Each structure stands twice: as C-alpha cells, then as structure tokens.
Chain A
Amino acid sequence: MKLYQYGDNVDTDVIIPARYLNAPDEKSLASHCMEDIDDKFASTVEPGDIIVAGSNFGCGSSREHAPISIKACGVKCVIAKSFARIFYRNAINIGFPIMECPEAVDGISAGDKVSVDFATGVIVNKTTGARFQAAPFPAFVNGIIEHGGLLNSLKARGVAK
C-alpha cells in the first residue's frame, strides 16, 4: 500500500474537476481523480492505497462524483482530520470508508505502512507502532454501511420500493 498525503481544504473541484462531470461513469471519473491537485495520482494509485489529509476534506460542491472517483481508483479509505459534511454523507451513502482522526493524520509520515480496521476504528502506523482510535460511526450509519449503501438499507427496511 502507498500513502497519498494532502493538506487542509482539499475541495471537490480538485478531486474531480467539473470539466469531467459530463462523463459520470466510474472509469472516466477515476482516470481524472485528484488531477488538479496531484497530476500523478490517477496514474500511480493502486488498490489498497490510502489517502491521508488535513481538515475539511471534500469541501465545496455536493458532487458524489468525488467519492465515487476515489473509490473507483481502489483507494481503501481516506483518513482526515475532518470531512466536509456533504462529502462525509456521500461517502457513507455509497459505502466508501472514511475515518476522522486528527491524531492519526499527525502521526503518519510519507512512506509509513498503515493498517486500518473499520469495525473498531483502529488505525495502526505499522512503521512506528503507533495506534490511533478514529471516532466510531453511530449504529445508524453502520447500518447503512453494512447494507452496502443507503438505498439498499432503505430497501431492506421496506421504505423504498
């Protein structure tokens, strides 16, 4: 796994620029992911890689294309100090794991090996041995993730037909 590290306020316009929103299929979105902040990201990212970022990750537009593009690249999860609220919702709703943990962001350096456990919220920096605890999701949100996203969970409850 590789780490991709970014600072604060990574906005949805740099995650997936609006000029590519006219082709919302996953492959196309993935091929332009992070293009305006890191033009090497899409060509080097591999399944299992992790993005580590500062505060307010995913701010700006409501475009679900942003978490879709990151997920479609095979990124395992995003660990950030905080997430913009629409990105946070969108990630949960499409079943893409995100972890809010400022201490982990500060305790991970370039090249470190990192493991994550979504069930417990535990993040381990295997290079330094440091352990971090991300804020756990409420049960309601875990229900959405367990069903593989919002629509499936609503169908399982019988409220969406």
Chain B
Amino acid sequence: MGMTMTQKILARCAGLDEVKAGQLIEGRLSLVLGNDITTPVAITEFDKAGLTSVFDRDKIAIVLDHYTPCKDIKAAQLCAAARKFAKRFSITHFYDVGQVGVEHALIPEKGLAAPGEVIIGADSHTCTYGALGAFSTGVGSTDMAAGMATGLAWFKVPSAIKVTLTGSFRPNVSGKDVILHLIGLIGVDGALYRSLEFSGDGVAALDMDDRFTICNMAIEAGAKNGIFPVDEKTLAYLDGRVSRPFQAFEPDPDAVYEREVVIDLNTLEPTVSLPHLPSNTKTVSEVAGMPIQQVVIGSCTNGRIKDLREAAAILKGRKVADGVRCIVIPATQEIMLQAVAEGLVQTFIEAGAAVSTPTCGPCLGGHMGVLADDEVAVATTNRNFVGRMGPVSSKIILSNPAVAAASAVAGCVADPNKL
C-alpha cells in the first residue's frame, strides 16, 4: 500500500521499510526544540527523572522568545533556568535576547530544518517546518525532556487529508487566507490526529513565506503536521542555510488519503476568523466596518519579510487611525534588518505604528500589547480563543497582514482592496 510524504519520513526515522496509519513507532529525531515557557518544565522533568546527559548538543534548540525581553521577574526566572541548562550541556543552538527570533521563523532561517527531517518542539506551532518537506510536530515538555535525553520520540503514524491547490492569488490574498479558508471548511478538529498534505499546481505559486504560514496553522485544524512537497523554491530557500545532506520525499502514486480538499487560489478572498475560533471564517467584505482598537502584525504565523512587505505596501503614505494601536513585530533579527534596509520600518513608524524587537508577546497575551476589557484586535496571529490576548471579554479577529494594515488605517475591519 502506498505511503504519504509523512508516512515515508516516519518510516525512515523508525528504520522501517513501511508504516501504516495507526501504527505506533519510535523514531530518531533530527531536532528537539523548546522555548522559555516549555523548556523550564522540561528541565524540571529531566532533573526529576535524574537524567544527566543529552543525546546530541547540536540537535537541541532552545529559543527564549515568548516572554522576552523578560516581562516580569517570574519570566526572568524561567529564562535563567533555561540559560543555565543550555550552558550546563553546551547546547549549540541556544538563542537569547539579541539573537533570538520567534522560534518558528528562526529555526528555518538558521538552517535547522530540512526536507525529510523529523523535528519535535515543545510548542504547538512546530508544525511550521512542513513547509520545507520536513515532518515536524508540536509536543509537550515531557516529550521534549525525553527527546533531549534520548533523541527518540513515539508517534502514532497519521492518516492524511490531501489538500490540492490550484491557480494563483489575487491581490492582497496570501498564505494566511489559504489556511483560514481551509480551517473554515474542515473545522478546528477537521484534521485531528491527521496530516495535511499539500499538493497541486498551485503550490508553485506560493512563496516559502506563504507555505510557512500555511503549515504553521495546521495545528489549528487539529492536524499532527502539515507538509509541502519540495520544489525549486524550497531548494532556493535552503541554499546557503543548510549544508548537511537531506532527502526530499514525495507521496507514492497510490498513497491513501482519507479525503481530498481542493482549493482554487483564484477564488480566495481576504479572509478573517471572527472570535472565538479560527474556524469561524468570513470574507473580509462580509465583516468590514467592525470597530477595532488594536492591530498586531507579526508572530510565527505572519512575522516574515513577505508579511511585512504586504503590510508596508498598505501603510505607505497612510496613517494609523486615531484610537487604534498598531504593533509591528518582525519575527527575527534578520527579518528586522531586512525590513530596515528596505525602508519598511520607516514606513511603519511614519504611519504611526510601534515596531518591536522579536517576541511572541501579544499573540499569547504575554506582553507587548495585551488588550483591555471589551477591546477588539485584528491580528495576524494564529489563535482567537477566549482570553488569548487579554481578559475574557476581549476579542481577536485573525487576518492576513494586508487586511491587518488596512484595518489599522481604517480604524475598523477593512478590505485592503477597497481602501
């Protein structure tokens, strides 16, 4: 029986010729990742179990991105614990303030993810690296501790949903609209325990930053992972970042998929998710005019250079509306430097936006843009759950960067094509 891309990668990491959906395997890991919230819990478990060594100091990444630069004393203590652990085991890929970026933008940028690799991260959005043809998935802190100690993780081999993309985007539509539309179609548990495998001639039309955004939110459909085939754009992205050998996998022609969803990119409109679930999708034209108080442009979902270019194209020569706070957070230092070099940061500041050093900050209601009672934000982030960015009465509307920028200018949810 044919295997999906994901199943082929999992078979190889388990040293097996073949795996089937539902099979439990133990696989060798290419990378184990954690952040400043999840790593300290992993360290506690690691120490509690009396573990004294890590499997490979070059295959562990610790990224202090959530509450940093530290928002309070408790957050500082967590970072101190992670720092101490990284030093104790001479962890090669340890990223602290000054070098740190939002982890799922940083890991690919630093060449720490490649096609065919198997990556677990104690952060749900670890599924991002499927954009590079890797199997990557979010786990908890105990899995992280076990992964650091052994280089192994257990997996149930997932079945898959095939998502066939055709055509190309219309103006101000991007990867975010693909994934929001898909989640709207199949629901927040529509891909529960399954892979989302993307294919079709529309893939070629997607930039890498679109693919990262799409795979990033696979978890918001409940998926174990999202994954794209490797093509020329993937190889161009990897060139200069990854020097170790890697293997790209294609699905077998007779790979079994539970279902197929076809999305014609030409038909997609700028899409938003209304409170309080990512599946609560509408086209922006259906909800334009809803008043807002804050806009957040950034995060592991949409803080990459293409996102910033799309936002800047809208904000150029315009002003953020009175009564709206617009916060722009380039996801890594490299992206920040590029945004400076291209004049994007100047555009943001001249428009009246605040530009921040990389942090997850407001996405999880941590800091750098927490909401007050009843406030509404348009955010390019990934979750609009109750209380995610502030008190339970606050609300989040998820969108792409162009919609977020247009909404900042209009002072309400706005269609960038009708500014």
A binds B: yes
A residues contacting B by CB (< 8 A) are 8-9, 11, 13-14, 17-19, 21-24, 36-37, 55-56, 59-65, 67-68, 82, 84-86, 89-90, 93-94, 138, 140-141, 149-152, 154-155, 159-161
For residue B124, CB closer than 8 A to chain A, the reply is yes
Closest Cβ of chain A to B145, distance in Å, is: 6
- The reply to whether A61 and B124 form a contact with Cβ atoms under 8 Å apart is yes
**Nearest CB of chain A from residue B33's CB, rounded to whole Å:** 11
Identify the stretch in B207-215, B237-245, B262-270, B383-391 within 8 Å (CB) of chain A at 4 or more residues: B383-391
Tell me, in angstroms, the Cα distance from A61 to B365 when the chains sit together. 13
Is the Cβ of B145 less than 8 Å from the Cβ of A11? no
Tell me the number of A-to-B contacts counted with CB atoms below 8 Å: 145
Q: Which residues of B contact A90 (CB under 8 A)?
A: 139-143
CB-CB under 8 A for A55 and B75, given A62-B123, A149-B142, A151-B49: no
Is there an interface contact between A62 and B72, defined as CB atoms closer than 8 Å? Answer: no
* Interface segment out of the listed B185-193, B253-261, B299-307: B185-193
Our pick among A14, A138, A151 for the contact of B51 (Cβ within 8 Å) is A151
- Give bound CA distance, A145 to B38, whole Å: 22
Q: Which residues of A contact B224 (CB under 8 A)?
A: 85
Q: Which residues from chain A contact B75 at a C-beta distance below 8 Å?
A: 22
Whether the Cβ atoms of B150 and A63 lie closer than 8 Å is no
| B88 at interface by CB-CB < 8 Å | no
Nearest CB in chain B: distance from A62 CB, A: 4
B139 interface neighbour in A18, A19, A86, Cβ under 8 Å:
A86
Contact B138 A62 (CB under 8 A): yes
Specify which of B139, B149, B188 is in contact with A56 (CB 8 Å cutoff). Answer: B188
Neighbouring A residues of B377 by C-beta, 8 Å:
none
Closest approach, in angstroms, between the C-beta of A100 and any C-beta of chain B? 11
Complex CA distance for A138 and B157, rounded to whole angstroms: 13
Measured between alpha carbons, how far is A36 from B364 in the docked complex, in Å? 14
Closest 9 CB pairs of A and B: A90-B140, A64-B140, A22-B74, A151-B49, A56-B189, A93-B142, A36-B387, A18-B364, A62-B124
Q: Shortest beta-carbon distance, B122 to chain A, in Å?
A: 6
List chain A residues, Cβ under 8 A from B37.
18, 21-22, 24, 63, 65
CA distance A141 to B25 in the complex (A): 11
Query: Interface size (B, Cβ < 8 Å)?
Result: 54
Between A11, A14, A19, A59, the greatest number of chain B beta carbons within 10 A of the residue's beta carbon is seen for A59
CB distance from A97 to the nearest CB of B (A): 15
Give the CA-CA distance A17 to B38 in the complex, in Å.
14
B121 partner residues in chain A, CB cutoff 8 A = 62
Contact B140 A62 (CB under 8 A): yes
Interface residues of chain B, those whose CB is within 8 Å of chain A, are 24, 37-38, 40-41, 44-46, 48-53, 67, 71-72, 74-75, 78, 121-124, 126, 138-143, 145-146, 149-150, 152, 154, 188-189, 192-193, 219, 222, 224, 277, 364-366, 383, 385-388, 392
* Alpha-carbon gap, A8 to B38, bound state (A): 25
B23 to chain A, nearest CB (A): 10
Report the nearest B residue to A95, measured CB to CB.
B142
When the two chains form their complex, are residues A63 and B192 in contact, meaning their CB atoms are under 8 A apart? no
Nearest-neighbour CB distance to chain A for B336, whole angstroms, equals 24
A14-B387, A17-B387, A61-B364 are known contacts. Are A94 and B188 too (CB-CB below 8 A)?
no
8 more A-B residue pairs beyond the given contacts A17-B365, A64-B141, A93-B146, with a C-beta to C-beta distance below 8 A: A59-B188, A62-B126, A65-B37, A67-B140, A84-B222, A85-B222, A90-B139, A90-B143
Question: Are B383 and A151 in touch, CB under 8 angstroms?
Answer: no
Q: In the complex the two chains form, is A64's CB within 8 Å of B41's CB?
A: yes
**A17, A55, A151, A155 interface centre (most CB from chain B within 10 Å):** A151
- The answer to whether B124 and A93 touch across the interface, beta carbons within 8 angstroms, is no
Chain A residue at smallest Cβ distance from B388: A13
Chain A residues with CB below 8 A from B388, complex form: 13, 18
- On chain B, the residues within 8 Å of A155 by CB distance are 49-51
Q: Is the CB of B193 within 8 A of A85?
A: yes
Using Cβ atoms and an 8 Å threshold, which residues of chain B touch A93?
Answer: 140, 142-143, 146
Flag if A161 contacts B189 (CB, 8 Å): no
- Could you say which of B44, B50, B51, B78 contacts A22, with CB atoms under 8 Å apart? B78
